[in-house]
Structure 1
Amino acid sequence: MSLLDVRNLTVAFRQDGKTTQAVRGVSFSLDRGETVALVGESGSGKSVTALSTVSLLGDNAEVGGSVTYDGQEMIGASRQLLHKVRGNDISFIFQEPMTSLNPLHTIEKQLVESLELHQGLSGDAARARVLELLNKVGIRDAETRLGAYPHQLSGGQRQRVMIAMALANKPDILIADEPTTALDVTIQAQILELLAELKKTENMGLLFITHDLGIVRRIADRVCVMKGGEIVEAGPTAQIFGNPQHPYTRMLLAAEQKGQPDPVPANAKVVAETEHLKVWFPIHRGLLKRTVGYVKAVNDATISVREGETLGIVGESGSGKTTLALAIMRLIPSEGRIVFNGQDVRQWSTGELRRLRKDMQIVFQDPYGSLSPRMTCFEIIAEGLTVHNVDPTRDRRELVAEAMVETGLDPAAMDRYPHEFSGGQRQRIAIARAMVLRPRLLVLDEPTSALDMTVQVQIVELLRGLQKKYGLAYLFISHDLKVVRAMSHQVMVMKQGDVVEQGPAEQVFGNPREEYTRTLLAAAG
């Protein structure tokens, strides 16, 4: 008998008098000590299938078929049984830890709560177990992090805390829904190794949901490929990767980053440069808030990026990548020289900087979090035009329509709201919002990490096309080295605020000088 057995699972959602079929006749099983991967694009039904296993769907869900855990039926199960199974026998790791962690409670309190509820641990025993778990998932200086709140941790650190919580009660089944999307390649490798070790030592079943086929190849025993709520192909990993039968599977496997950006023109002007840029955040203690030390976020960074050039910035969470970009855009205080469009802007006032703002734009990692849910697509894209008084004589809808067409969006959808678009479309809206101002420098902060592989390829092609057309300078921040390689002319490697290596992309990727760079490349596979 399988540990988890899903048979003919169907899920439909009722909303506004309509019924939408999300999962159609899905069947698979999971045994102890086995990893089964559910793969497919956003909206294929992967997460809905996983949530159905312990009845975590909303009241508007109509669920049919059968889901048994260790011989016990989960669909229609009593609250008492579900309460016992959830978080104890079957644990979840979700993609976005900020929505899963309580912002008002410390990391220690949230982990201890789970241990008290399921294992009856408290006091020193619970604290010792919490430290053991945090060390296991790669949290540095775990003891100093116990009193931290979620917002005080990086995205990667928050995800590691979520993984620690899921592992706290030694579950029989771990359901991991895109658990490594927000993690650096080195931490990703550590977490995958940890999950593989736990699966072996604890004889645990692992249901792994992801769009990263590289991870699937490394960890999965069997693969189920989902499209439109159905499993279109399933089988052993080697078979699926070696001899895919379904056209959709072949398309997913073919969606890899390829090619390189166009060469930078020899006469290209420098758009942005820094000399000995430093960002240190003071640490205040005591009643008088005396400065007792500094968080050295960026140390002595000297960069230069020209028209039509991409500088890829890589490194682990907390290495200073985003801080460096924010300092260059004068969004946080810094020391050192910052030159933009040939002018030293570090001492400029907010008012003086305002006229430069339209020339420096940013696209963030989470396309949903960076778009106002109360504004239509048109209002989001047009906002900058109004703020900077761009082309005041031209019709705003016409300008927005042009930006939407340029970024692969249908102008007919400009009056829709963000939730009515897919993840890839939302990221295109974020790019259109920046591009409508015709900037000279575009900061791209993990712009593809939350997207499916096929959509990632589309976004990279879009960005390369826009760069070629307008001579844009990009600062491209990412932990996905394949994407960085496909986008970048120059690469800078950062570690704990220090620039450990920088140079042409071919040199850094082909013949890295520093051990840390070699470690990153090895972890990326």
Structure 2
Amino acid sequence: MSLLEVKDLKVGFRQDGAVTQAVHGVSFSVDRGETVALVGESGSGKSVTALSTVSLLGDSAIVEGSVTYDGQQMIGANDKLLRKVRGNDISFIFQEPMTSLNPLHTLEKQLTESIELHQGLRGAAVRERILELLNRVGIRDPESRLGAYPHQLSGGQRQRVMIAMALSNKPDVLIADEPTTALDVTIQAQILELLAELKREENMGLLFITHDLGVVRRIADRVCVMKDGEIVETGPTSEIFDNPQHDYTKKLLGAAPSGVPDPVPEGAETLVETHGLRIWFPIQKGLLKRTVGHVKAVNEADIEVRRGETLGIVGESGSGKTTLALALMRLIESEGEMRFEGEDMRAWSTRQLRRKRSDIQIVFQDPVGSLSPRMTCEQIIAEGLGVHGNPDGRPVRELVAEVMREVELNPETMDRYPHEFSGGQRQRIAIARAMILRPKLVVLDEPTSALDMTVQVQIVDLLRRLQVKHGLTYLFISHDLAVVRAMSHKVVVMKQGDIVEYGASEDIFNAPKTEYAKTLLQAALDLTV
């Protein structure tokens, strides 16, 4: 008998008197010491299937079939059994630790709650167990971190804390739902290595949910490919990758950004440049808030980007990538020289800066967080026109329809709200919001990292087409080096605020000069399909 066994699982959700079916007769098993990957695009039913294992779907869900853990039936189980199993025998790690960790509680308090609830330890024994767990998941100097809040940790550190919480009660089954999607390639590699090591040591069963096939190839023993709530193909990892049978599996395996951007037009002038750009944040202590040091976010950055060119900015979390871009948008204070179209950006008055904002736009990583849920698609896209004016004088709906067609959205959907669109469609709305102002420079801050592989390819192709059509200049920030290579003419590699390499994209990717760049590229190579 398998440790976790799912047979003919069906899940539907009641809504407005009707039932929407999300999972259709799914069957698979997870044995002790085995890693099984559920793979598929958003909406395929992966997470719903995982949450069904311990009845975490809520009252609107209709669940049928069988889910057994160690021979015990989970569907229809009483609350006492479910409370015992949840977080104790079966633990979860979720994609975004900031939504799973309480921002108002220290790490020690959050870990203490879990250990006291399930293990009955108290006092010094709890603290000892917490330090043991944090050491085990690779948190350096854990004692100094006990009083830290989640926002004071990097993305990789937060994910390690989530793993520590999941492991605190020595579960038999660990369910990891997209645990590495938002992390840099080097941190991804570390987290995957950590999970594999812990699985071996504890002889756990691991159910790994992801859309990233590079991750699957590295960590999984068996793969279940899901599409539209069904498993369309299953088998050992090597067989699925080397000899896929289903057309959908072949499509997933072939979905990777490729090609290079069109060359920059001859004689293109410099649009934006910096010389000696420095961004240091003061560390203030004491009653009088005296400055006792600085967080050196960016040191002496010199960059130059021409019209129609894409500058890729890569590096681990905390390297200064986004900080550099925010300084170029005049959204944070900085020192040094910054020029836009030859003008000194620091000399702009408040009125000039406001006028120039329409020339410099940004598209964020998470379209869910950057789009107001209370505004329609039309209102979101047209919002900038209300601030900066409508130079064409044409009806707003006409302009919105035009830009929606440009980003390959149906204008007939402009009266819908963000939750009525898929993840890829929401990112297209965010791009349309920036494009309606006809900007000259667009900052793209991890615009594809939260998207499925097939959707990533579509967004990269869209961005390249818009660049050629409108002569756009991009600052492209990403931890996905395959996407950076497909998008960028030049690349900046940043480490702890310093630019350690800067040059043509092909030179950086084919012959990196620094050990740090080589490490980044190797980590990315290890995670490719």
TM-score category of the 2 structures, normalised to the smaller one: over 0.9
Q: Structure 1 CA distance, aligned partners of 2:493 and 2:175?
A: 33
Q: Give yes or no for contact 1:441–1:472 (8 Å, CA) kept in 2.
A: yes
Amino acid at match of 2:333: P
2:350 paired residue number? 350
List per-residue Cα deviations over 1:98-155 (Å, max 9, x = no partner).
2211121122211222122222334444334334433443445544433222233343
Superposed displacement of residue 90, structure 1: 0.7
CA separation of 1:404 and 1:80: change in aligned 2, threshold 3 A: same
Q: For residue 273 of structure 2, what is the aligned residue in structure 1? A: 273
- Is 268-277 or 341-350 further displaced after alignment? 341-350
Q: How far did residue 392 of structure 1 move?
A: 5.3
In structure 2, the partner of 1:79 is 79
SS across alignment from 2:273: strand
How does 1:246-265 map onto structure 2 within 5 Å? Answer: 246-265=246-265
Corresponding position: 1:505 with 2:505? yes
C-alpha RMSD over aligned residues = 1.3
* Post-superposition offset of 1:283: 1.3
Matched with 1:174 is 174
**Cα distance change on mapping 1:68 and 1:17 into 2, 3 Å:** same
Deviation at 1:216, TM superposition (A): 0.6
Instruction: Mark the CA change 1:124 to 1:382 in structure 2 (over 3 Å): closer, same or farther.
Output: same
The alignment status of 1:186 with 2:186, answered yes or no, reads yes
Residue 522 of structure 2 is matched in structure 1 by 522
Q: Counterpart of 1:401 in 2: which secondary structure?
A: helix
User: 2-side partners of 1:257 and 1:69: how far apart?
Assistant: 40
**Corresponding residue of 2:410:** 410
> Is the 1:274–1:339 contact (alpha carbons within 8 Å) kept by the matching residues of 2?
yes
Instruction: Look up the match of 2:109.
Output: 109
- Secondary structure, counterpart of 2:431 in structure 1: helix
1:127-142 correspondence to structure 2 within 5 Å: 127-142=127-142
Contact 1:138/1:187 (8 A) holds in 2:
no
- State the match for 1:289 in structure 2: 289
Question: In structure 2, how many angstroms separate the alpha carbons of the residues matched to 1:129 and 1:186?
Answer: 28
In 2, Cα distance between equivalents of 1:272 and 1:507: 22
In structure 2, distance between residues paired with 1:410 and 1:471: 24
Residues 145 and 268 of structure 1, relative CA distance in 2, 3 Å threshold: farther
> How far is the alpha carbon of 1:341 from its aligned partner?
1.7
Higher deviation after alignment, 241-250 or 117-126: 117-126
State the AA in 1 paired with 2:94. F
1:416, distance to aligned residue in structure 2 (A): 0.2
Structure 2 CA distance, aligned partners of 1:510 and 1:430? 33
Do structure 1's residue 157 and structure 2's residue 157 form an aligned pair? yes
| Residue 388 (structure 2) pairs with residue 388 (structure 1) | yes
Query: What secondary structure is seen at the aligned counterpart in 1 of 2:203?
Result: coil
Q: Which runs of 5+ in 1 are unaligned?
A: none
Q: Which moved more, 1:419-428 or 1:497-506?
A: 497-506
Instruction: Tell me the SS of whatever aligns to 2:272.
Output: strand
Q: Distance in 2 between matches of 1:370 and 1:132?
A: 38
Deviation at 1:359, TM superposition (A): 0.5
Name the counterpart of 1:477: 477
2: CA distance, partners of 1:297 / 1:6 = 48
Unaligned runs of 5+ in 2: none
Aligned to 2:90: 90
Aligned residue-pair number: 525
- Alpha-carbon distance in 2 for matches of 1:266, 1:35: 52
Moved more, 163-172 or 176-185: 163-172
Return the offset for 1:353.
0.5
Check conservation: 1:159, 1:182, Cα contact below 8 A.
Answer: no
> For residues 287 and 126 of structure 1, do their structure 2 counterparts lie closer, same or farther at Cα, with a shift above 3 Å needed?
farther
Provide the C-alpha distance between the structure 2 equivalents of 1:132 and 1:463, rounded to a whole number of angstroms: 47
> Helix, strand or coil for the counterpart of 1:318?
coil
Change (3 A) 1:315 1:51: same
1:498 maps to a residue whose letter is D
Query: For 2:489 and 2:140, how far apart are their aligned partners in 1?
Result: 33
Further displaced range: 409-418 or 265-274 = 265-274
Task: Give the aligned residue type for 1:12.
Answer: G
Determine helix, strand or coil for the equivalent of 2:108.
Answer: helix
Distance 2:497 2:50 in 1: 39
Whether the aligned pair in 2 keeps the contact of 1:91 and 1:166 (CA below 8 Å) is yes
**CA offsets, 1:237-260, max 9 Å, x none?**
111111111111111111011100
Residues 511 and 460 of structure 1: CA distance in aligned 2, closer, same or farther (over 3 Å): same
For 2:483, the aligned partner's letter is: V
User: What CA distance in whole angstroms lies between the structure 2 residues aligned with 1:13 and 1:43?
Assistant: 14
8 Å Cα contact 1:360/1:441 also seen in 2: yes
* Mapped partners of 1:122, 1:279: distance in 2: 45
SS of 1:41's equivalent? Answer: coil
Q: One-letter code of the match for 1:253?
A: L
C-alpha offsets along residues 3-46 of structure 1, whole Å, 9 cap, x if unaligned?
00000000000011111000000000000110000001100000
Deviates more, 1:289-298 or 1:184-193: 289-298
* 1:520 positional shift: 0.8
CA distance in 2, matches of 1:118, 1:247: 45
Counterpart AA for 1:70: D
1:321 is matched with which residue?
A: 321
- Aligned CA distance change for structure 1 residues 231 and 112 (closer, same or farther; 3 Å): same
SS at match of 1:312: strand
Measure how far apart 1:230 and its partner are: 0.5
Name the CA distance, whole Å, in 2 between partners of 1:218 and 1:312: 26
State the partner residue of 1:491.
491
Verify: 1:54 aligned to 2:54, yes or no. Answer: yes
Question: What residue is the counterpart of 2:298 in the other structure?
Answer: 298
Match of 2:367, SS? coil
**When the two structures are superposed, what TM-score results if normalisation uses the length of structure 2?**
0.97
1:4 aligns with 2:4: yes
State the one-letter code of the partner of 2:251: M
Q: Deviations over 1:288-333 (max 9, x none)?
A: 2222211111111111111111111111111111011001100000
- Report deviation, 1:351: 2.5
Equivalent residue number for residue 445 of structure 1: 445
Cα deviation for residue 156 of structure 1 reads 3.6
Structure 2 match to 1:367: 367
Q: Quick one: structure 1 residues 154 and 401, their matched pair in 2 at CA, closer, same or farther if it must change by over 3 Å?
A: farther
Which whole-Å CA distance do the structure 2 matches of 1:98 and 1:423 have between them?
19
Alignment check: 8 A CA contact 1:312 1:492 kept: yes
In 2 relative to 1, CA 136–403 (structure 1 residues): closer, same or farther, beyond 3 Å? farther
Contact 1:12–1:61 (Cα < 8 Å) also in 2: yes
CA drift at 1:503: 0.9
Greater alpha carbon shift after TM alignment, 20-29 vs 234-243: 234-243
> CA 1:379–1:269 in structure 2 vs 1: closer, same or farther (change >3 Å)?
same
**CA–CA distance in 2 between the matches of 1:59 and 1:374?**
25
1:96 deviates by 1.9
SS across alignment from 1:346: helix
Aligned with 1:280: secondary structure?
strand
DSSP-derived class of the 1:273 partner:
strand
